[in-house]
């Protein structure tokens, strides 16, 4: 058990999984598929955008009306 480097093994598996998800959803995913209310809000607030990055425990987003 100690002869194997599981860190490298699991890192490579999860990296491949993350790459597959990034390729599948590179055009985004409509939140209206989860709940139609999100589609209503997205229709009212045009160009609603959220960054996938968190800085100082804040998620940055914006919209235009």
pLDDT score of 47 more than 90: no
pLDDT band at 1 (very low <50, low <70, confident <90, very high): low
pLDDT recorded at residue 11:
92
Pairing of strands 58-64, 46-55: antiparallel
Separation between Cα atoms, residue 65 and residue 21, nearest integer Å: 31
Does a structural domain hold residue 32? Answer: yes
What is the tally of structural domains in the chain?
A: 1
pLDDT score of 15 more than 90: yes
Separation between Cα atoms, residue 45 and residue 47, nearest integer Å: 7
Does a structural domain hold residue 1? Answer: no
Q: What percent of the chain has pLDDT over 70?
A: 97
Provide the domain limits for residue 18. 6-64
Q: Is the pTM of this model over 0.85?
A: no
Find how far residue 26's CA is from the centre of its chain.
10
CA distances, 50 to each of 15, 18, 35 (Å): 23, 20, 18
pLDDT score of 5 more than 70: yes
């Amino acid at each position: 058990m100690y002869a194997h480097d599981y860190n490298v093994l699991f890192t490579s598996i999860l990296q491949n999984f993350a790459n597959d998800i990034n390729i599948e959803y590179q055009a985004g995913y409509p939140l209206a598929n989860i709940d139609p209310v999100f589609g209503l809000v997205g229709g009212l607030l045009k160009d609603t955008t959220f960054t996938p990055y968190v800085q100082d425990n804040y998620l940055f987003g914006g919209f235009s009306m």
